[in-house]
Amino acid sequence: MSVNTSSVSLGGKMDKIVSLAKRRGFVFPSSEIYGGLASCWDYGPLGVLLKNNVKRAWWIDNVQTKMNMCGLDAAILMHPQVWEASGHVNCFQDPMVDCKSCKKRFRADELNTSVCPECGGELTEARQFNLMFKTFMGPLEDASAIVYMRPETAQGIFVNFKNAANSTRKKLPFGIAQIGKSFRNEITPGKFTFRTREFEQMEIEFFCRPDESDKWFDYWVNERYNWYIEHGVKPENLRLREHDKSELAHYAKACKDVEYNFPWGWSELEGIASRGDYDLKCHQSSSGENLTYFDEERNEHFLPFVIEPSAGADRAALAFLTDAYDEEEVPNDKGKPDVRTVLRFSADIAPIKAAVLPLSKKQELISVSEKLFADISRICPCEYDERGSIGKRYRRQDEIGTLYCVTVDFETLNDSQVTVRYRDSMKQDRISISELTNWLKDKIF
Ligand code: ATP
């Protein structure tokens, strides 16, 4: 059993982010008390809020607010024929080589040496390794009981194309979106949560008339690129990369990746592919079901063409976390220069929106603070912290990206106002308690 590789250094900034993620409860190594499990990670108390915010933002922008979109949540286990029809049983594989000395495994297509990059040993011939996890359905463990853990959510959408179209009465062009877990037995996982064997995808299959597919491809490339920027990623850290002909699958018309400039280099966050009618055609021929669409306006039956924006929730969350990470020099409590670590998340991605901090542990202040926490936590995730100096408490909140710190002090008892401190500018304002929740709603939503 291979253990977690969390000790592998990814270099300066990334090491700091991995360490902050563990210390503050964003991401923990899976099964850590048993030494961890390679490439598996658990999202902690803050991580679950962060990833949920990423998924919620994606769903609101791509499904809820688009008239021509609908959602789906298909089962992870699907009929094995799905994966034969889609080509995954025969073609979803990477070339693998083993080192004859240290026994480590590598993806042959990622190596730029002919010997082992770890120990210089001799490598075996490359052989194809299928990335799908297999398991058995029911009590018999024989070939007839084999099912696969889905390696992508897309096929759950294709096989439900007719169901979704009929039940929603949607007309072309329209899309079906899904968020869910996928599993790939990656030969070389790594780089923290960037490449794991269990991960979450956020996928869209957008069905359109064949002669309109170029237009919709451009539309989705634009939408998806801008989505990361709208939610806080700095434009200089994001780029589009067009696949050249040699990278395209034989049926694909075009593909562009949205890439983020991680500390280790530009890497894929999402791929947007123009897939023609390949997927529906494969399922139609394998299942025998007629999957054509009847276009009333044109009075013709045809298989729609598909544009597929396929993103990873874990990679998006990691990009938002990396992009938000900042260190700046500011004076500490005693006026000495100090480094402040701050996660500059956008308002919708920040896991915690506000923190209530009573200036002292005197009961009068605690009572007001507890009541404030009760009111604020009804509208957004809020923390309550009464321990340590106020300066240290501010820093703790900065480090997790909390947007507003609400301090209750002795003046509050006289004027019913609190001090609100802004994360980015560290500016402070007095705001009346009776207006506070509406003020926060305005700022956050
Ligand atoms: P890569 O080339 O990085 O392996 P891919 O091109 O195989 O990715 P797709 O099959 O296009 O990836 O999957 C769509 C998205 O799903 C990717 O852009 C990525 O965000 C996410 N994804 C794919 N594989 C993984 C993985 N092993 N771990 C985390 N996210 C993944």
In a domain, 162, yes or no: yes
Position 69, amino acid: M
pLDDT bin (cut points 50, 70, 90) of residue 7 is very low
Q: What is the CATH number of the domain that holds 412?
A: 3.40.50.800
pLDDT digits (tens, 9 = 90+) for 258-286: 999 999 999 999 999 999 999 999 999 99
Q: Does the CB atom of residue 315 touch ligand 1 within 6 A?
A: yes
How many structural domains comprise the chain? 2
State yes or no: pLDDT of 385 exceeds 60: yes
What is the mean predicted confidence (pLDDT) over 290-303?
A: 96
pLDDT at 8: 54
Higher pLDDT, 207 or 101: 207
The residue whose C-alpha atom lies closest to atom 13 belonging to ligand 1 is 310
Q: Which of 219, 224, 82 lies closest to 150 in space, CA to CA?
A: 82
C-alpha 16/C-alpha 185 separation (Å) is 28
Structural domain of 292: 44-82+149-320
Q: What is the DSSP string of 256-319?
A: EEEEEEETTEEEEEEEEEEEETHHHHHHHHHH-----EEETTTTEEEPPEEEEEEEEHHHHHHH
* Same structural domain, 301 and 390: no
State yes or no: pLDDT of 10 exceeds 90: no
pLDDT bin (cut points 50, 70, 90) of residue 188 is confident
What is the mean predicted confidence (pLDDT) over 163-183?
A: 97
Q: Are 182 and 199 in contact (CB under 8 A)?
A: yes
pLDDT at 5: 43
* Sign, CA torsion 306/311/313/314: positive
pLDDT at 87: 93
Q: Do the bridges between strand 69-72 and strand 337-343 make them parallel or antiparallel, or are there none, so unpaired?
A: unpaired
**Residue 131, Cα to own-chain centre: how many angstroms?**
21
Q: Does the CB atom of residue 192 touch ligand 1 within 6 A?
A: no
- The alpha carbon of 409 and the centre of ligand 1 are apart by a number of angstroms equal to 49
In a domain, 246, yes or no: yes
pLDDT at 295: 95
C-alpha 150/C-alpha 178 separation (Å) is 13
Q: Does the CB atom of residue 411 touch ligand 1 within 6 A?
A: no
Index of the ligand 1 atom closest to the CA of residue 195: 28
* Same structural domain, 53 and 191: yes
Rounded to whole angstroms, what are the CA distances from 334 to 227, 320, 330, 331, 426?
A: 42, 33, 11, 7, 16
pLDDT at 6: 46
- The alpha carbon of 312 and the centre of ligand 1 are apart by a number of angstroms equal to 7
Look up residue 63 and give its DSSP letter: I
Average of per-residue pLDDT values in the chain: 94
pLDDT bin (cut points 50, 70, 90) of residue 312 is very high
* Same structural domain, 201 and 262: yes
* Same structural domain, 302 and 385: no
